[in-house]
Amino acid sequence: MNTILLVEDEPELRALLGLALRRNGYHVIEADSGVTGFELARRHCPDLILSDIDMAGGDGLTLLRAIRRDPELKTRQVVLMTGTTDLVTARNGMEAGADDFLVKPISLQELLSCVKARFTRASVRWRVEGQLPPAQVHSSMPYRDADDRWSSNPPRPDENEFGYKNHRGGTWYPDEAGKEI
């Protein structure tokens, strides 16, 4: 189960967004300020952080900058939310390192679509960079098996992320069959 840290100072909105995310299979940790959000992020290392920008007790941009400076959290995806339609606010968030930006009021469909897109992108990045993703993402990612068919089973330990070892010990790639390395 993917973990999401939801940082929102409005209790009603935080409860509504948290409920929607939980009902869609996510584990949600809630914080009411940027300061509390950073403490919880350090403690739980969530897969995704959804944060409001304008909050008392530490705003979302300050939280984002702290996350990007932290060695344990800097690769976590962060989605900023705001009620302001000001393009400068969105640009400041993106320049600070936000992965996405949502403008309130947020429909539940828009929220869930954004979250799904973030987890899909994270899975692709982990595969491309050769990192091992968390088990819950790893087991849901499709792979090509040795017969070049899509499979939900992760590669065996004797296979690499992009190809498979052949019977002579070389590595072949499904898109370049016959080419040995």
pLDDT tens digit sequence for 81-120: 988 777 667 778 888 889 999 999 999 999 999 999 998 8
Contact 166, 158 (CB under 8 A): no
**CA angle (33, 35, 37) in 5-degree steps:** 65
Whole-number Å distance between alpha carbons of 36 and 5: 11
Q: Tens digit of pLDDT per residue, the chain (181 long)?
A: 899 999 999 999 999 999 999 999 999 999 999 999 999 999 999 999 999 999 987 889 999 999 999 999 999 999 999 887 776 677 788 888 899 999 999 999 999 999 999 988 766 554 545 554 544 444 444 444 445 455 455 444 444 444 444 444 444 444 444 444 4
Domains, the chain, ordered by start: 3-137 (3.40.50.2300), 144-181 (no CATH)
Task: Provide φ and ψ at 135, rounded to 5°.
Answer: -55, -40
pTM for the predicted model, two decimal places: 0.68
- Max Cα separation, the chain? 63
Whole-number Å distance between alpha carbons of 93 and 73: 17
Strands 164-165 and 171-172: antiparallel
Enumerate residues 6+ apart whose C-beta is below 8 A from 94.
101
Within the chain, residue ranges assigned H as helices are 11-23, 34-44, 60-69, 87-95, 108-129, 135-138
